[in-house]
Amino acid sequence: MKFPFDLSFLTSSMISVMLFLFRIIVPILTAVVALKCFHSLRLGKRRESPVMVLEDMTTHQVIPVLYWENSIGRSRSCDVVLRDQTASRAHAVLMRRESGWFVSDTNSKAGTFVNGRKVLGRTPVCPGDVIAMGSTVLMLKSTEEVGAAPAQPPRRCAASPFGLLFLTFLTQALLALQVAFSKGKFSLSFLYPLAVLAVLEWALYLYSIKILGHVSFELETLAFLLCGIGLAIQSGVDLKSSWTQVTAIAAGIILYRIMIWFLGDMDRVMRWRTGIAVFALILFAVNLLFARSRNGARNWINYGSLSLQPSEFIKIAFILVGTSTLDRLQTYRNLSGFIGFSAICMGALFLMRDFGTACIFFVMFLIIAFMRSGSVRTIALALAVAAFGAFLILKIKPYVAQRFEVWRHVWEHTGDAGYQQVRVLSYSASGGMFGVGVGHGCLRDVFASTSDLVFGMVCEELGVVLAVIVVLILASLALYARSEASRSRSTLYSIAACTAGGVLLFQTCLNVFGATDVLPLTGVTLPFISLGGSSMVSVWGMLAFLKACDERTYAARRSRK
């Protein structure tokens, strides 16, 4: 006897409905994890209450010391303002380091004296010590001594790191189900890369929280959340590239930990800066000599089966070279060395015809230059030079100009210059709010779908809601870096984090808006999501800058001593 209905149709429909429901749950979970992480980061932020105070020995006025690095001088922009005509505009810097408080004279005219002795280099100051600048004499005191409210202890995270990572893991499990059914039938082999990712995240969790005793894991959780989404998309397209992806994530995590350690000692960073700059330039030189051309840009170096994109690592070097502690900033105000370094980097990228990366370096330069100097004139000059450069590119490289011509007119070029963009738009709309399911998209067949067009892939296969949440997380990382700028342990961390956050957001803009015809550029990866080896590793490096900016990152280590 035959059944009147085809039962296999029924089960496949049920699986479809289940996967669809999961695609509704994934963005909800992602949003919950992201909100909780950022909330926890906000709560973990130090209140701006003084730890120490400076007491003016003549007026007995009490000046709170709010930051880890405090500029002292006549200028109103200083953290401690001296009403003293004999003091220099930026006279000295009072710094808190792990071993205590220090003062540095920053090329002041009258000099700085601690307990009557002239300051040469960095000099430790203890509570009760007297710092003399010009005709002002200040005594360092702890807040308890003057009867002010005591500094509040740093607060713990709002949400438990374990809970957050577990939610992330759950989200990834739901994504894994999408991947498992990506070919229509359940298939376990597609899940291995995601399983490795799960092992990596729990391993890093145990290492950070249990072994190193860190209190915060929000940034890492967010990174794993994004990596999981990216990896799910890759696994649905091609298993081999998803192994590349997960390997890159593992390498990225190692780089991340190394950088967290390296950044732990600011003096070490400052000492190594010249070396790093030289190394970056050598890397560029090697790139220019040995690089292979791929899709018009000579930015790949092949070594055996390994292919590397040196410019991705130079990004990290660029930030390390550009950033600086406050005493250094105030002593050596001149930007020319950094401008020269940037110019060489940009020049090398032009020779490599990698204009997308050149754009990114330029934005990094702008952020660093502005945060170091605050000079609008420098920025304006840089923008003028950039405009000239852009004009030159358009003149010399007709294919770049072509992109500008079809910009906002892609629907008239569905077969040629607008090919990728119209497909991104069309398939993004086809996916609706919750996507057609991993592996069931059509954008995957378009060139560069998993890298430059990956935003469209997320829209099509997992839905525009999740895609928007992903880019909002990336934007929030930049905003987080900004909000920590005055709270971190040093301007070194602040400048680095703001630059890293800015670059992540800028890359997001180029990737998303280039693919969707909001901007005329394509060819940049979406952080944590796009398929990439070097770029994925480098993104974790960027995350390390954000992490270092969090005051709690290096607090745990001290508490263990």
Site residues, another protein (CB under 8 A): 9, 12-13, 15-17, 20-21, 66-71, 77-79, 326, 363, 366-367, 370-371, 374, 414, 422-423, 425-437, 440, 442, 445, 464, 468, 471, 475, 478-479, 481-482, 485-487, 491, 494-495, 498, 501-502, 505-506, 508-509, 512-513, 516, 518-519
CB 307, min distance to another protein, A = 30
Q: Which is nearer to another protein, 401 or 429 (CB)?
A: 429
CA 325, chain centre distance (Å): 19
Minimum CB–partner distance for residue 186 and another protein (Å): 15
β strands within 164-276, DSSP E: none
Nearer Cβ to another protein (351/429)? 429
Cα–Cα distance for residue pair 493/513, rounded to 1 Å: 29
> Which C-beta is closer to another protein: that of 334 or that of 445?
445
Beta carbon of residue 462, minimum distance to another protein (angstroms, whole number): 11
**What is the spatial distance between Cα 457 and Cα 505, in angstroms, rounded to a whole number?**
19
Shortest distance, position 204 Cβ to another protein, whole Å: 27
Report the alpha-carbon distance of residue 287 to residue 309 in Å, rounded.
8
Comparing CB distances to another protein, the nearer of 291 and 326 is: 326
CA distance 250 to 240: 16
Instruction: Please name which of 193, 141, 241, 203 lies closest in space to residue 457, comparing C-alpha atoms.
Output: 241
Q: By the 8 A CB rule, do 178 and 19 touch?
A: yes
CB-nearer residue toward another protein: 37 or 371: 371
Give the nearer residue to another protein in terms of CB position, either 160 or 486: 486
Question: Which residue, 300 or 554, is less far from another protein as judged by CB?
Answer: 554
Minimum CB distance to another protein, residue 464 (Å): 7
Rounded to whole angstroms, the Cα distance separating 221 from 226 reads 9
Candidates 272, 312, 257; CA nearest to 492 is 272
Radius of gyration (C-alpha) of the chain in whole angstroms: 26
- Please, what is the minimum distance in Å from the beta carbon of residue 374 to another protein? 5
For 35-93, the DSSP string reads HHHHHHHHHTSPPS--SEEEEETTT--EEEE-SSEEEEESSTTSSEE---TTS-SS-EE
Q: Which two tokens stand for residue 330?
A: 């105030």
CB of 8 to another protein, least distance (A): 12
Q: How far is the CB of 365 from another protein (least distance, A)?
A: 12
Q: Which is nearer to another protein, 24 or 137 (CB)?
A: 24
Residue 294, SS3 per DSSP: strand
Element of type H or E holding 123: strand 122-125
Angle made by CA atoms 323, 215, 102, in degrees to the nearest 5: 45
